[in-house]
C-alpha cells in the first residue's frame, strides 16, 4: 500500500496539468514548512498566504470547475478531488476546510438551473475566490425543514432576504455564499447567492473552534438583502434536492482528509520512535510497539483501499446504479472514525511527545475528532446505512463490474443525482468479493458475515427492537463492517495488494466484528436464537506471525525515513 508522500511526488495523472496542480500545492506547503504552519495555527492567523496562492495558481478553478464552464480541459473529477483532500489535510485541516466549504458552496450552484451564476462562479474561481454554504442555523443546525432564512416578495418582483446562518466556513470572505431558505407566504424552498462584501450582509462574528483554528467559521446575517431572479439558483424540489445532494458530495471529502492527517502523523510517530532509545533498545524493537504501529498502518491502508474504491462507485454512478449512496456515508462515518483509532494507536506509542506544540501530531490529536462530526453525525449516517441492509443481503442483481476510475472524465452525474428511494437500490452478491481469496482471516471474517445474514433470515429484530433506535444503530455497525470489507477486497484485487497486508487488515476486522457482536450481547435484550448467533460471531483472528513480520519489516518500519519533518 503506497501512502501519500509529498517528497518525490510520483503520481502521474492522465493529464499533465493535474500533476502540476498537485506538485505546486505540495511545494507551497513544503516551502512554508512545519514550523511556520504551527506558528500560524497557534496564533490563529488568517491564511492570507494560502488565499494568495489560490489566486496565483488557481488550483480550485482547475479542480472544481465542471466541463463547459472553465478551461477546455476543466472537469469535476472525484479521483482528483480525493487526492487534493489528502494533500491539504496532510499539512493542516484548516487549509482543507477552506477547500471543503468551497465544494459545499459550489454544489447548489452547479446543481441549480441559473446558468449565469454558474459562469460567474467559474470566473470567481479563476480569480482565486473561495465559496461558502449557508445551510445550518444556530437554533436548528442542519434541520432544513425548520430553516428561518426567508425571502420576502416585493411589489416589483424582487425579494428581501432576512435571517441568519451559523457555523458557515469562509463566511467572512466568500466570493459567493449559497444560501438556503424559504419564500415567505408560499414556504417554497429556495437557494440563492449573496456576496460577503454587500452592505446588507453582516458577518456577525468568528466562531472560534478548538480545531481548524485559522479557518473562519462564521455567523452571518442578511438584513433586507436585495435578491432578484439573477441571484436565485434553484427553487422547490430542485433546491431541496440540491441541499441533500451537496452534502452527499461533501461527505466523501471527509474520509480523505482523515487519511491525510493520519499519514502525516504516522510518519512523524514512527520517525520519533525509531530514533528513540529506551532501556538500551530502540522503541521500535519492543514487540508491543511493533504491534501498535502495524495495526495503525493496516487500519490506514484499509481506509485508503475502501475510500479509493468508493470513489470508483461515485464516478460510475447513474440513475440505474446508485450504490454509492451506501458507500458514501461509510466513507464519512467509518473512514473518519477509523482515523480516530489510527491516531489513538500512534499516540499510545509516542505518548507525551504528541502534545508538544512543535509537532504535527498535536494538531492531529485536536483535529481528527472533528471529521466524524461534520456533514451529519455518525448516528445520522448510520440511520441512512441501515436502509440498505435488506437489498444488500437478499435478492442480488447483476451489474457490470465497476473498474478502477482514474480516467479524466467529468463526474457530472453528481450534479443531477436524485434523492430518496434508498430502499430500492440493489446490489450484486457481496460474496463475489470473496471469490478466490484463501486467506485465513478473510475466511474467518466471512463466517462472521454469514452468521449476520443467518440472523437476519432466521431471527431478525422484532417490532420492539426495530423501534429501538439505539439497538438498530448498534446492529448497523456490524453491517457497516460487511460493506467495508467488500470494497477493501475488491480494491485489493484490483491493485494486486500484498496478501500478508490483506490478512493483517482482516485480523482487526475480525476483532472489530467480535466487539460489535459482544456489545449486542451485553447491552441489549435479545431472543435466545439471537443471543446464540451473536455469541457465535465472537471469533479470534488466525495467528499469522510470518505475515505480521512481513508487513512490519517490509512496509511499516521503512516508513521511519519516508518523511522527516522540517
Whether 121 and 26 map to the same domain: the answer is yes
Residue 291 domain-assigned (yes or no): no
pLDDT value, residue 422: 85
3-state class (DSSP) for residue 276? coil
- Rounded CA-CA distance 44/441 in Å is 46
With a cut of 50, list the residues of the chain below it in pLDDT: none
Whether 152 and 120 map to the same domain: the answer is no
- Rounded CA-CA distance 420/213 in Å is 36
- What is the count of structural domains for the chain? 3
Whether 172 and 29 map to the same domain: the answer is no
Residue 303 domain-assigned (yes or no): no
Chain mean pLDDT for the chain: 94
Instruction: State whether the Cα torsion 484-485-488-494 is positive or negative.
Output: negative
Query: Residue with C-alpha cell 495558481?
Result: 57
The alpha helices in 316-377, defined as continuous H runs, are: 324-330, 336-350, 360-367
Q: What percent of the chain has pLDDT over 70?
A: 98
pLDDT value, residue 541: 98
Question: What string of DSSP letters covers 390-455?
Answer: HHHHSS----PPP----S----GGGGT-----GGG-----GGGGGTT---HHHHHHHHHHHHHHHH
- Rounded CA-CA distance 258/251 in Å is 12
Spacing of C-alpha 56 from chain mean position = 27
Residue 370 domain-assigned (yes or no): no
Other beta carbons within 10 Å of 13: 17
CATH number at residue 81: 1.10.540
Residue 464 domain-assigned (yes or no): yes
Whether 168 and 193 map to the same domain: the answer is yes
- For residue 193, the cross-strand partners are 178
- For residue 176, the cross-strand partners are 131
Whether 562 and 464 map to the same domain: the answer is yes
Last residue of a domain, one of 236, 257, 288: 236
Query: Rounded to two decimals, what is the model's pTM?
Result: 0.96
Q: What is the dihedral of CA 184, 185, 188, 191, to 10 degrees?
A: -20
Q: What is the dihedral of CA 28, 75, 64, 404, to 10 degrees?
A: -80
Residues 6+ apart with CB under 8 A from 372: 254, 332, 333, 336, 337, 340, 378
Last residue of a domain, one of 236, 251, 281: 236
Residue 309 domain-assigned (yes or no): no
Whether 511 and 464 map to the same domain: the answer is yes
CATH number at residue 138: 2.40.110.10
Residue 354 domain-assigned (yes or no): no
- Rounded CA-CA distance 333/169 in Å is 21
Whether 429 and 554 map to the same domain: the answer is yes
Instruction: State whether the Cα torsion 56-62-63-68 is positive or negative.
Output: positive
Full domain range(s) for residue 182: 132-236
Residue 290 domain-assigned (yes or no): no
pLDDT value, residue 98: 95
Whether 31 and 121 map to the same domain: the answer is yes
Whether 553 and 443 map to the same domain: the answer is yes
Residue 272 domain-assigned (yes or no): no
Locate the DSSP E strands across 89-209: 131-134, 150-153, 159-169, 176-183, 189-194, 201-206
pLDDT value, residue 356: 93
Whether 102 and 51 map to the same domain: the answer is yes
Residues 6+ apart with CB under 8 A from 180: 108, 134, 135, 144, 147, 149, 189, 190, 191, 239, 243
Whether 433 and 544 map to the same domain: the answer is yes
Whether 211 and 115 map to the same domain: the answer is no
- Rounded CA-CA distance 123/104 in Å is 17
Last residue of a domain, one of 202, 221, 236: 236
Amino acid at each position: 500500500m503506497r501512502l501519500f508522500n509529498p517528497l518525490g511526488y510520483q503520481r502521474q495523472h492522465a493529464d499533465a496539468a493535474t500533476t502540476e496542480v498537485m506538485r505546486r500545492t505540495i511545494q507551497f506547503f513544503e516551502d512554508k514548512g512545519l514550523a511556520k504552519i504551527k506558528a500560524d495555527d497557534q496564533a490563529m492567523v488568517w491564511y492570507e498566504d494560502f488565499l494568495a496562492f489560490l489566486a496565483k495558481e488557481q488550483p480550485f478553478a482547475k479542480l472544481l470547475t465542471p466541463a463547459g464552464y472553465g478551461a477546455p480541459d476543466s472537469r469535476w473529477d472525484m479521483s482528483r478531488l480525493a487526492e487534493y483532500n489528502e494533500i491539504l489535510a496532510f499539512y493542516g485541516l484548516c487549509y482543507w476546510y477552506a477547500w471543503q466549504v468551497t465544494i459545499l458552496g459550489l454544489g447548489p450552484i452547479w446543481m441549480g438551473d441559473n446558468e449565469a451564476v454558474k459562469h460567474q462562479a467559474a470566473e470567481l474561481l479563476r480569480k482565486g475566490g473561495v465559496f461558502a454554504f449557508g445551510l445550518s442555523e444556530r437554533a436548528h443546525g442542519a434541520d432544513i425543514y425548520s430553516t428561518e432564512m426567508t425571502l420576502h416578495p416585493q411589489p416589483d418582483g424582487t425579494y428581501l432576504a432576512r435571517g441568519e446562518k451559523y457555523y458557515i466556513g469562509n463566511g467572512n470572505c466568500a466570493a459567493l455564499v449559497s444560501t438556503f431558505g424559504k419564500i415567505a407566504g408560499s414556504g417554497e424552498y429556495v437557494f440563492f447567492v449573496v456576496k460577503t462584501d454587500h452592505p446588507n450582509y453582516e458577518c456577525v462574528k468568528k466562531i472560534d473552534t478548538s480545531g481548524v483554528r485559522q479557518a473562519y467559521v462564521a455567523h452571518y446575517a442578511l438584513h433586507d438583502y436585495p435578491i432578484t431572479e439573477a441571484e436565485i439558483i434553484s427553487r422547490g424540489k430542485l433546491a431541496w434536492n440540491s441541499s441533500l445532494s451537496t452534502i452527499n458530495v461533501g461527505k466523501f471529502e471527509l474520509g480523505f482528509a482523515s487519511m491525510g492527517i493520519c499519514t502525516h502523523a504516522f510518519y512523524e510517530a514512527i520517525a520519533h520512535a525509531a530514533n528513540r532509545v529506551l532501556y538500551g533498545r530502540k522503541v521500535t524493537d519492543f514487540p508491543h510497539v511493533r504491534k501498535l504501529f502495524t495495526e495503525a498502518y493496516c487500519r490506514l491502508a484499509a481506509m485508503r483501499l475502501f475510500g479509493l474504491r468508493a470513489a470508483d462507485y461515485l464516478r460510475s454512478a447513474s440513475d440505474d446504479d446508485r450504490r454509492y449512496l451506501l458507500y458514501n456515508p461509510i466513507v464519512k462515518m467509518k473512514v473518519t472514525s477509523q482515523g480516530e483509532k489510527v491516531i489513538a494507536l500512534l499516540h499510545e506509542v509516542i505518548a507525551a511527545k504528541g502534545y508538544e506544540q512543535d509537532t504535527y501530531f498535536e494538531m492531529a490529536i485536536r483535529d481528527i475528532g472533528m471529521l466524524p462530526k461534520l456533514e451529519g453525525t455518525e448516528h445520522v449516517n448510520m440511520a441512512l446505512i441501515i436502509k440498505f441492509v435488506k437489498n444488500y443481503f437478499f435478492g442480488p442483481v447483476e451489474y457490470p463490474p465497476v473498474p478502477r476510475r482514474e480516467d479524466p472524465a467529468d463526474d457530472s452525474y453528481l450534479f443531477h443525482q436524485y434523492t430518496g428511494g434508498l430502499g430500492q437500490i440493489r446490489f450484486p452478491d457481496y460474496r463475489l468479493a470473496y471469490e478466490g481469496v484463501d486467506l485465513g482471516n478473510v475466511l474467518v471474517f466471512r463466517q462472521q458475515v454469514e452468521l449476520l445474514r443467518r440472523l437476519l433470515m432466521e431471527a431478525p429484530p422484532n417490532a420492539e427492537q426495530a423501534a429501538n433506535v439505539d439497538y438498530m444503530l448498534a446492529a448497523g455497525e456490524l453491517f457497516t463492517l460487511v460493506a467495508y470489507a467488500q470494497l477493501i477486497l475488491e480494491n485489493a484485487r484490483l491493485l494486486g495488494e500484498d496478501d500478508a497486508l490483506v490478512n493483517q487488515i482482516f485480523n482487526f476486522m475480525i476483532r472489530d466484528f467480535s466487539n460489535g457482536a459482544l456489545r449486542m450481547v451485553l447491552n441489549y435484550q435479545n431472543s435466545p436464537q439471537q443471543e446464540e448467533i451473536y455469541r457465535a460471531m465472537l471469533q479470534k483472528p488466525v495467528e499469522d506471525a510470518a505475515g505480521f513480520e512481513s508487513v512490519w519489516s517490509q512496509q511499516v518500519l521503512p516508513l521511519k525515513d519516508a518523511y522527516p519533518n522540517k
